[in-house]
């Protein structure tokens, strides 16, 4: 059976398998069948991609064919759909988005009625329904067609929720902040949110046209944001990705803070105000060695997990941690929300900024970043890493060379045809050399 789901939902090029209207309809039908509940509706949101309307319509039709009503919210950040799914007691929530990917791509993310992303087992069961001939749900569902309608007030409800997530008494008066919305799903909400908290907002990336989402802007491209921050003498810049579930910070000098640095600041802040449960956070295997070392000196433990924010959340639920994240900028504050939310992460970072009364560039000074090099190699196939003998041998040699002063991680992207080669080491030259040697092996063996 074909595997549809990757690290974060179903991804691909819009209008090509599996992101065609036909497949979206089948996926919608499977989702409606899987989550069918009497009287409960599905809710759908999307980012600003040109293909969003097409896939939204197909998904909605597929779900409605099982007898389940569908509420379409229009453009709304991914975490907004998670919130509305739970608060509105929906059967499930769907987001049409490819997150930080270019506009040609799109994707389908699914939330269960509890507002959490699906487990691996739930995804496998939905895949089985997609490819099962004649899957149509219960007899009642087959005899009744669900309605499809627009849900008014979704943006306002989510915005109110975000405002309630701000720490009591937080005021941003006197702060000048540049906000880059990536021409994506946060383009209306984010500038209004931070202005409502008192900040002077310089908005960027707020003119989506269906094709410019993530194009030289947002969390993946902070050059323009950095230039704006320095020219406007702003206190910091904050960039979101296309669907608003990740966030990147640029300091007052135009330097970009890593996701690990932002996570470290948030961890210390929550610990100091007594909100860091068990003095523990969760991070993925891609996080810098310096995160664990620096937080360890503060008495904070860091638990590792697989790459992907849903795996971060699963580890957080098992351990009781209230904070987790990825170096890419995904941050989860579980005491506030059930998925990664870039705007909640930004609010918490700003609260820490007010708490410490330091300039942005000094907030994460306590964390030493080990040299890290990441090379993404386009691949034509994804065989088991251990099955590639030359690569396995190369990894062993590099690990021996680095010893306790570094590490190697080679993995496939869950959303793109790429192999990610990551090396951390004691110095930049050694790290770069080790990473390039391994990347060359990948190119030679399975590269495009």
DSSP code string of 322-333: SEEE-TTSBEEE
* Residue-by-residue DSSP string for 143-185: H-PPPEEE-TTHHHHHHHHHHHHSPTT---TT-EEEEE-TTTT
* Whether pLDDT at 280 is above 90: yes
| pLDDT given at position 149 | 97
pLDDT in tens, 34-85: 999 878 999 999 999 999 999 999 999 999 999 999 999 999 999 999 999 9
pLDDT of residue 38: 78
User: What is the pLDDT at residue 404?
Assistant: 81
The arrangement of secondary structure in 372-446, i.e. its CATH architecture, is 2-Layer Sandwich (3.30)
* Mean pLDDT within 196-215: 98
**Which residues have a Cβ under 8 Å from the Cβ of 42 and sit 6 or more positions away?**
31, 32, 35, 63, 68, 69, 70, 71, 90, 91, 92, 93, 94
- Residue 21's pLDDT band, with cuts at 50, 70 and 90, is very high
Once rounded to an integer, what is the mean pLDDT over residues 244-248?
97
Report, as residue numbers or ranges, the catalytic residues. Answer: 99
Give the chain's end-to-end CA distance (angstroms, integer): 25
Burial environment of residue 196 by CB neighbours within 10 A (0 to 12, 13 to 18, 19 or more):
middle
Band the pLDDT of 227: cuts 50, 70, 90: very high
What is the band of 289 on the pLDDT scale with cuts at 50, 70, 90? confident
Q: Which fold has domain 156-275+334-369?
A: Alpha-D-Glucose-1,6-Bisphosphate; Chain A, domain 3 (3.40.120)
**Interval 117-174: pLDDT, tens:** 999 999 999 999 999 855 554 455 456 899 999 999 999 999 999 999 999 999 999 9
Each residue of 291-323: pLDDT tens digit?
Answer: 998 999 999 999 999 989 999 999 999 999 999
Q: Read off the pLDDT band of 99 (50, 70, 90).
A: very high
Check residue 119 and give its pLDDT: 94
> What gap in Å lies between CA 296 and CA 421, rounded to an integer?
26
Q: What angle do CA 82, 237, 215 make, to 5 degrees?
A: 70
Angle, CA 113 vertex, CA 110 and CA 114 arms, to 5°:
105
3-state SS assignment for residue 203: strand
Q: With residue 434 as reference, give the H or E element that holds it.
A: helix 428-446
Q: What is the CA 4 to chain-centroid distance, rounded? A: 18
Length in residues, the chain = 448
Task: Return the pLDDT at 7.
Answer: 84
Identify the band that residue 2 occupies on the pLDDT scale cut at 50, 70 and 90.
confident
Q: Is the dihedral of CA 170, 176, 180, 185 positive or negative?
A: positive
What average pLDDT score do residues 397-405 get? 91
Judge if 5-152 and 156-275+334-369 fold alike in CATH terms.
yes
Going by pLDDT thresholds of 50, 70 and 90, the confidence category of residue 286 is confident
pLDDT at 339 over 80: yes
Least reliable range by pLDDT among 93-102, 387-396, 398-407: 398-407
Q: Give the whole-angstrom CA distance, residue 373 versus residue 428.
A: 8
Distance CA 225, CA 227 (A): 5
pTM beyond cutoff 0.75? yes
Residue 355 has pLDDT above 60, yes or no: yes
Tell me the pLDDT tens digit for each residue of 183-204. Answer: 999 999 999 999 999 999 999 9
Sheet containing 407-412: order of strands: 372-378, 418-424, 407-412
CATH number of 5-152, picked from 3.40.640.10, 3.40.50.800, 3.40.120.10, 3.30.70.20: 3.40.120.10
Domain extents in the chain? 5-152, 156-275+334-369, 372-446
Q: Reply yes or no on whether the pLDDT at 441 is more than 90.
A: yes
Mean pLDDT of 239-265: 97
pLDDT recorded at residue 415: 74
Q: What is the rounded distance in angstroms from the CA atom of residue 409 to the CA atom of residue 82?
A: 31
Q: Name the DSSP class of 268.
A: H
For the segment 409-438, what is each residue's pLDDT rounded down to a tens digit?
999 987 789 999 999 998 999 999 999 999
Q: In this prediction, what percent of the chain has a pLDDT beyond 70?
A: 98
Edge-to-edge strand ranges of the sheet holding 200-204: 200-204, 176-180, 236-240, 247-250, 256-257
How many other C-beta atoms can be found within 10 angstroms of the C-beta atom of residue 445? 17
């Amino acid at each position: 059976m074909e595997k549809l789901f990757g690290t974060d939902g179903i991804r691909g090029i819009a209008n090509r398998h599996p992101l065609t209207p036909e497949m979206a309809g089948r996926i919608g039908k499977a989702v409606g069948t899987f989550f069918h509940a009497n009287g409960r509706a599905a809710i759908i949101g999307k980012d600003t991609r040109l293909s969003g309307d097409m896939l939204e319509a197909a998904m909605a039709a597929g779900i409605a064919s099982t007898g389940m009503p569908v509420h379409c919210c229009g453009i709304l950040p991914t975490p907004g759909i998670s919130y509305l799914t739970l608060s509105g007691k929906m059967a499930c929530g769907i987001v049409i988005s490819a997150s930080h990917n270019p506009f040609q791509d799109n994707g389908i993310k699914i939330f269960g009625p509890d507002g959490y992303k699906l487990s691996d087992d739930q995804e496998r069961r939905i895949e089985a329904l997609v490819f099962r001939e004649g899957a149509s749900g219960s007899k009642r569902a087959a005899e009744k067609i669900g309605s499809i309608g627009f849900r008014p007030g979704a943006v306002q409800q989510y915005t109110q929720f975000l405002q309630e997530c701000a720490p009591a008494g937080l005021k941003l008066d006197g702060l000048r902040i540049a906000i880059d919305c990536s021409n994506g799903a946060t383009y209306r909400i984010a500038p209004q949110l931070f202005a409502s908290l008192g900040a002077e907002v310089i908005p960027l990336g707020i003119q989506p046209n269906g094709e410019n989402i993530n194009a030289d802007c947002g969390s993946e491209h902070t050059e323009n944001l950095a230039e704006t921050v320095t020219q406007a003498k702003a206190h910091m810049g904050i960039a979101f990705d296309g669907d608003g579930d990740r966030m990147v910070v640029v300091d007052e000098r135009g330097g970009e803070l890593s996701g690990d640095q932002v996570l470290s600041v948030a961890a210390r802040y929550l610990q100091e105000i007594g909100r860091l449960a068990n003095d523990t956070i969760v991070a993925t295997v891609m996080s810098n060695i310096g995160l664990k070392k620096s937080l360890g000196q503060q008495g904070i433990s860091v638990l590792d997990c697989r790459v992907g924010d849903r795996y971060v959340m699963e580890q957080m639920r098992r351990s009781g941690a209230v904070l987790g994240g990825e170096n890419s900028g995904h941050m989860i504050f579980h005491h506030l929300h059930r998925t990664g939310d870039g705007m909640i992460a930004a609010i918490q970072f700003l609260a820490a900024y007010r708490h410490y009364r330091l300039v942005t560039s000094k907030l994460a000074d306590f964390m030493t970043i080990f040299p890290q090099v990441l090379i993404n190699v386009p691949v034509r196939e994804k065989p088991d890493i251990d099955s590639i003998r030359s690569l396995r041998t190369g990894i062993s040699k590099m690990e021996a060379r680095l010893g306790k002063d570094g590490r190697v991680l080679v993995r496939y992207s869950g959303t793109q045809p790429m192999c990610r080669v990551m090396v951390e080491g004691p110095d930049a030259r050694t790290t770069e050399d080790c990473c390039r040697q391994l990347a060359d092996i990948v190119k030679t063996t399975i590269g495009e």
